[in-house]
Structure 1
């Protein structure tokens, strides 16, 4: 989770890993608003970070589909990958996050 501050128009103007006096609203790391904010930051590595976060989400969903269809088995993955997959599944379950839809929104 991140903590954000919004302007009068409801746009994110501050993003932080920790709560502060200004950034008190919580938002999911993979929320499209967070990605849009990161991508809009000029002169930083934020564009790459936003792209990486979005791509990680695509890879997660792809793995889920391959596992569900039996194309690959969970035990085919190295132990470290299995641990990371289980951590992400747990986070997604706790935050009620499902697959990405064709329009990029959560379904």
Structure 2
């Protein structure tokens, strides 16, 4: 079930999957819900949307993993070997695709963009 929080004018301000105080049941196909999610209600196809959003979602997950590693919540080596290889491959490909996005000569860039740190091993 989907629930909507509304402002004093009745406009949706948040959606949740839990019945929290002041939340009202909402139909996912309701035009107001679609507008809140910036989805085209008339031409919306869930499978097409999921396919199109996969790439951006993957990038979000990569950034999340990088953040968890940077904050030492997990170690790169805690990930399965196949995941390590995939993440390293994508990181290398991104650096090749966007060589001008940072100054590779700066020590901050090198420190922040290390693929594997000294205390980690790939295998």
TM-score bin, normalised by smaller chain: 0.3 to 0.5
Using structure 1 for the length normalisation, give the TM-score: 0.47
Give the greater-gyration-radius structure (CA): 2
Using structure 2 for the length normalisation, give the TM-score: 0.41
